[in-house]
Structure 1
């Protein structure tokens, strides 16, 4: 049964009469002079399926202090959804834009209502400690809301500490700390919690530890909390909400809570500060040194200033006011993670479940959504924050050395979740090396090599089927699920590992891996021109339907990863000219990409919600196709890239809670918009080049490298003028339809002249983008 995708935005043929079909965006001319940054809208992505949150955090910070409106179901992955309209409380850790949830640690509930120990329902908040709210405000580093009990809650942060300021009306009130609160899939589900403890020390510091078995199976969180006013009474609650004897100084068990009562909560604002650690309570206590005294306003001002400096990386003029807000909001979301995971003393929990201590200049990080972020988020960092890119590379090398699974896939808080396919940390490393990021890449090679060549090396969910891949050159669909996508993604990782092997002098390994990186061919049937499931005996699945998710009807046995046959056909990022030849040459390949954008936007009933934002069968709401609009450049039709990229920028992003067409995925969706709106995109990040597209803004200035500025100008730009007529680089004509990272990282001016009609700019064979050579 095929249905129309509910998230389909675009009616009719996406590329019909492409020479004249252009985005229907209201024209809004602005001054061409440089303008101050537009403030980001932190609520972009908090509705729909963006899965972002509006609370306070620092750039790449450990604490994400934010309201929780829900903790079960897919749209509660970040803990917040704009449609819920009631708040359970404020917790200290959140994931941004993911499709799986975890975290939501140390929930703080301030209220004047009678004590309740359960959250209650969204439909009836008064059945528990939920509260409806109003006057909500969010800006980088600061959040404020008024709860219906009359409490005004304000939140700010340092890197490792969350700071709360609660202003109560005169009279009694209490603060509940719910240490059972975390992300769950259903209301009936109870997340497994082990080794939980809460304790009140003589100095008034409340401390806690627990181990949580959710997405990161067994991660540990520790906190230390101080309050500006001593409570009049303290009541601990153990498992099943059983009260502990009055006067007790703590409680142990699994699902714990503590209530702090004030006879006159409104006598003065109650300030709370909470340090967290993934190592131990001492690490959490140490975090409190970042927020000495009770200077909430000083901390809030510092957080705002830090964000203002970070967001000043990029300035634009032109476009519409909404597009400028979308850009600043996207930049904000790209600077939220990966998230800090080392204590002030340098200790952190490694993927080997051992505590390690870093040198003073180093830091550990968590929440690497690598299947998503290798595409645009990490390339954006190498461009605008090469210092952070270097930190991430050093960290990923350490994690590769420490992990029992080798190169990380989706590491979270000291655990490998094994989420998604492949081990795309090697792509981040290969890209960084190609762009001049200095690191000890050779130190990671022993474990990378094991993953590359040792079929007995420990598997995670992300690396299933490697034995078949090494033996047959593909993964059989009758043996391993998601076999078609896995084969192609493993081939891309082989390409990245080959680049790393060459970089450290392992030439023979590089040759083998480069040859093996051509295994993508073994699941692309040239007779029909599609990615196609293949069985262990070498036969192809038939009759073939590219719209379906695979040869098995079961929802959990698919042949593609968050994709169907259409979308999986274009996964190849590293051997594009080999793919073009495999599909019959330039004309045939261009027609194939046309048909991709023009196909009916229908999906089977069992399609995952990730496949969203359809233009034909292209799904902008999910990452596998993010490079496809740029593939026209490789067959001499860059004007089609220009029109489609401009269309996607205009139609797939909004200044609205439902402003991200799919999960933001730790900033990947946002990074795509930023790079594409600047006029270039890394189809294969490991090559160190960017394919040119269509700049959205009239001018853009971004800080790159060490004190350098890249200026992008679009002369004659307008919503109905998306086509590049010519390009100049530092004042000289530029005929190539691509530019190298090595050029723009030094700063300069990239000038596009735009027009209403397509041109032959960049169409010649000599001006087409390079692609990685085949063995």
Structure 2
């Protein structure tokens, strides 16, 4: 992990000292597209994977090194020394493991049916490896058996090419493989079937009860060479010769080749969340022929387009690689979840048919990604943002729970708190993305006002929230964070109510969105839990994560320090609640300069500390930008530059916390460009400190944003002046409607702060629909 030492940094001398040891930036000779490093984030707690996929693709075929510990939630960790095999689905950056479907294991020698322990690579079917290489759309590795394995993907199919040495070999298909992470107390796989048809196509279905309980996956797989023998296994027991179909929980299949090295053995595998017929159709549509290299080139081309949306000059080579890697990781999820015929599995566990040209998606890590990833996509991938908007509206209508929380392959996991799909939808409406928002309002309204609506773990005790104006800590776990995030969702739902013409509902929700104040004690100026009788919890220590951890935590992956600044939508209201802008600014100073101590029971998500600010966890991501609301954006500039240079590295351990489906990466991209969406629903960006001398951002068709910071260096973190399309710009923010038109945003950078820039109340960012002026 990155070693973060506590420094005040808010003084100019602190910035200069920090910058002194950094290399100077290169002269800006022209923008370029640096290649990403797919191993960034695969070490530490980044939880990313290096296997190939296409942008937002359904299939993520890749190597699995671990499925037993938290560090291996993606199935891969850079420190591991052996590979179990190559499965076809992976999660990027999540803090919980799932997927890893349809594991293919090419090997030689005696057949092994279990992978063996990670700590002992010489047991089981694990193999040590070398010559590992990864690039967008392609992965290659040599296994200790001598097999050279290559992987690529289309949107719905995974391709593998295995070159064996001369002599016998085999391919194991392990359909039991999954990420248990902890010893299971119930059946993790149920209703599995595995068959081989007369044409040699292998098909299978299973229901998985890991994270997304009852998730269904179906596959159809073909081989370029017919095996000499086939052996099915049920509960690791071989089945009689001639068996063509098996069922149960623990199913495996071994394909034997007398001379595996006679020619490469290729597999192509189509997936579906609907049925085997859908998997077959996906395979037939995207898996014609056996030209592995053609599909590799197509995947490379798709990534060239996606990665070419942002090009920069200046900075260091390492920073340009970090940026490219972040842009890559920001376009892995959400993932495609509809078949080529338009069918998909809805959150109501029913099969639905899409209108022509529509697509369904899964893997929405909304508690994380509403903050920066979705705002970033409205700029660099507006067509995807439109697709996700339509998809989330559909899912809000179909789900018995209303707007999604954390949907994964047709299952509402209910993970984390709030129902932040509404934030993505409200932002989309505010930015003018066309969609039928009114159609989803009845389902969203039920979530907002009807406490009898079917519940998931993230939405408990909404009756108390509506009655008391907060969630009581003696009844509800994580009551402080829940109150604040419910309030933000009220703010988002108020916008959607207006869009639907429900003006009275909108007014009620706007008023209720101020409930966040009810867990901010104005006397001590900290987020603090309250009991049902209205009293504040005592004693109080902002370092602690809860008043009674054996029963309740008061905060979600946070403590009192971090939760104090969770509010994103009513900054000026909180400033007044805390006694004015001087007091609020001093409180921010105290956050960043406090001792970086945590209690022993703190979750690993609280990482990347600067004082008590935790960059490794998403609720802190907007906080450095709050100085702009006090008229001191120069402090934002100093801290953002520090976070950009200290929290990210060109290294497997280069992401300070879980990447969470691209959120950590998206923060780097937007902040490196020089602006950030503190409140995505406000559709405005607060200026920070651009990292490069020049950036060119493609904003859809025929529009381009140019961000210039000539002469920008490590020792010039401060913004002396700004122009927009050649005109002086005194505000410390800019609206999305301006930026999305395209143009040139020019920063004049300095080694000393301009304390007058953005200081006037009229130049400060809007919040709760207005500025302090």
TM-score tier (shorter): over 0.9
User: What is the rounded CA distance, in whole Å, between the counterparts of 1:140 and 1:91 in structure 2?
Assistant: 17
Q: Find the aligned partners of 1:330 and 1:19 in 2 and give their Cα distance.
A: 25
Match of 1:331 in 2: 327
Report what 1:676 is aligned to: 671
Render the CA deviation track for 1:347-400: whole Å, top value 9, x for unaligned.
Answer: 000000100010121000000000000000000011111110000000000000
Cα shift readout 1:174-227 (whole Å, capped 9, x = no counterpart): 000000000112367675111100000000000000000011000100000000
Quote the Cα distance in structure 2 between the aligned partners of 1:127 and 1:198.
26
The question of 1:145 aligning with 2:144 is answered no
- What is the aligned partner in structure 1 of residue 573 from structure 2? 578
1:481 is aligned to 477
Residues 1:253 and 2:262 aligned together: no
Distance 2:582 2:669 in 1: 31
Residue number in structure 2 paired with 1:502: 498
1:300-315 alignment to 2 at 5 Å?
300-315=296-311
Paired residues for 1:205-284 under 5 Å? 205-239=201-235, 241-284=236-279
Contact preservation (8 Å) 2:312, 2:696: yes
Q: 1:20 deviation in Å?
A: 4.7
User: Any idea what the Cα deviations from partners look like across 1:689-740, whole Å, max 9, x if unmatched?
Assistant: 0000110000000101332000000023110011000000000100010001
Alignment correspondent of 2:582 = 587
Cα distance per residue 1:563-610 (max 9 Å; x no partner): 000000000000000000000001000000000000000000000000
Please say if residues 15 and 21 of structure 1, whose CA atoms lie closer than 8 Å, have aligned partners that are also in contact.
no
Q: Is the 8 A contact 2:402 2:443 kept in 1?
A: yes
CA distance in structure 2 between the partners assigned to 1:191 and 1:85 by the alignment: 29
Counterpart CA distance in 2 for 1:606 and 1:149 is: 44
For residue 449 of structure 1, what is the aligned residue in structure 2? 445
Q: Which residue of 2 aligns with 1:627?
A: 622
**1:35 CA drift (Å):** 3.4
Name the CA distance, whole Å, in 2 between partners of 1:51 and 1:350: 27
Post-superposition Cα deviations, 1:109-131, rounded to whole Å, max 9, x if no partner, equal 00013100000112222210000
Q: How does 1:385-396 map to 2 (within 5 A)?
A: 385-396=381-392
User: Within 2, Cα distance between the matches of 1:662 and 1:627?
Assistant: 16
- Contact 2:696–2:706 (CA under 8 A) maintained in structure 1: yes
**Pairing 1:157–2:157 present:** no
Matched residue of 1:630: which SS? helix
Contact 2:723/2:746, CA 8 A, preserved across alignment = yes
Change (3 A) 1:174 1:190: farther
Taking the aligned partners of 2:220 and 2:451, their CA distance within structure 1 comes to: 44
2:406 is equivalent to residue 406 of structure 1: no
Q: Deviations over 1:85-116 (max 9, x none)?
A: 10000000000000011000000000013100
| Distance 1:191-1:603 versus aligned 2 partners, 3 A rule | farther
Residues in 1 aligned to 2:289 and 2:481: alpha-carbon distance in whole angstroms: 53
Equivalents in 2 of 1:19, 1:574: separation in Å?
30
Residue 618 in structure 1 maps to residue 613 in structure 2? yes
Distance 1:22 1:591 in 2: 22
Shift of 1:773: 3.9
Tell me by how many angstroms 1:306 deviates: 1.0
Output the CA distance in 1 between the equivalents of 2:260 and 2:64: 23
Deviations 1:525-565 (A, max 9, x none): 000000001000001011110000011032x6210000000
Q: Secondary structure at the match of 1:217?
A: coil
Q: Of 109, 122, 131, which aligns to 2:127?
A: 131
Q: Mapping of 1:477-626 within 5 angstroms?
A: 477-554=473-550, 557-626=552-621
Distance 1:251 1:660 in 2: 43
Cα distance in structure 1, aligned partners of 2:463 and 2:477: 14
Superposition pairs of residues 668-747 of structure 1, within 5 angstroms: 668-747=663-742
1:35 corresponds to 2:23: no
Please state how far the C-alpha of 1:456 moved relative to its aligned partner.
Answer: 1.2
Is this contact kept in 1: 2:2–2:647, CA < 8 A?
Answer: no
Q: Tell me how far 1:7 sits from its aligned partner.
A: 6.3
How many angstroms apart in 2 are the aligned matches of 1:594 and 1:211? Answer: 51
1:750 alignment partner in structure 2: 745
**What are the Cα deviations for residues 306-329 of structure 1, in whole angstroms up to 9, with x where unaligned?**
111111101000000000000000
In the superposition, relative to structure 1, how do residues 322 and 51 fare at CA in structure 2: closer, same or farther (>3 Å)?
same
Looking at structure 2, the residues matched to 127 and 654 of structure 1 have their Cα atoms a distance apart, in angstroms, of 34
| CA deviation profile, 1:738-769 (whole Å, cap 9, x unmatched) | 00110111110000000000002111111000
Partner of 1:662: 657
Specify every segment of 5 or more residues in structure 1 that has no aligned partner in the other structure, as ranges.
1-5
Within-5 A mapping of 1:66-81 = 66-81=62-77
On the 8 A contact 1:682/1:690 being kept in 2, the answer is yes
Does structure 2 retain, via aligned residues, the 8 Å contact 1:91–1:106? yes
Please tell me whether the aligned partners of residues 31 and 696 of structure 2 are also in contact (alpha carbons under 8 angstroms): no
TM-score, length of structure 1 as denominator length? 0.98
Compared CA separation, residues 721 and 187, structure 1 to 2 (3 A): same
Output the CA distance in 2 between the equivalents of 1:191 and 1:14: 52
Distance in 2 (CA, whole Å) between partners of 1:233 and 1:186 is 36
- Aligned partner of 1:3 in structure 2 is none
2:646 maps to which of 634, 651, 674: 651
- SS at the partner of 2:540? coil
Conservation of the 8 A alpha-carbon contact between 1:705 and 1:745: no
- 8 Å CA contact retained: 1:383, 1:704: yes
Partner Cα separation in structure 1 for residue 15 and residue 582 of structure 2: 17
C-alpha contact 1:567 1:617 (8 A) present in aligned 2:
yes
Quote the Cα distance in structure 1 between the aligned partners of 2:21 and 2:641: 10
The 1-side partners of 2:589 and 2:618 are apart by 19
Aligned-partner Cα distance in 2 for 1:527–1:36: 52
Q: Which runs of 4+ in 1 moved over 6 A?
A: none
Q: Secondary structure of 1:392's match?
A: helix
Structure 2 counterpart of 1:112, from 108, 112, 122: 108
Q: 2:61 aligns to what SS in structure 1?
A: strand
| Structure 1 residue 10, shift from structure 2 partner | 2.1
Query: Which residue does the alignment assign to 1:465?
Result: 461
* Secondary structure at 2:737 match in 1: helix
CA distance in 2, matches of 1:15, 1:35: 32
In structure 2, distance between residues paired with 1:71 and 1:223: 21
1:341 aligns with 2:342: no
| Counterpart Cα distance in 1 of 2:27 and 2:689 | 20
Rounded Cα–Cα distance in structure 2 between residues aligned with 1:674 and 1:236: 48
Q: Give the RMSD, CA atoms, in angstroms.
A: 1.3
1:363-378 equivalent positions in 2, closer than 5 A:
363-378=359-374
1:374–1:424 contact (8 Å) kept in structure 2: yes
Is residue 2:641 matched to residue 1:638?
A: no
Specify the SS of the correspondent of 1:647.
helix
Equivalent residues of 1:23, 1:650 under 8 A apart: no
Note if contact 1:724-1:753 (Cα within 8 Å) is conserved in structure 2: yes
SS in 2 for 1:401: helix
- Measured in 2, the distance between the counterparts of 1:45 and 1:189 equals 31
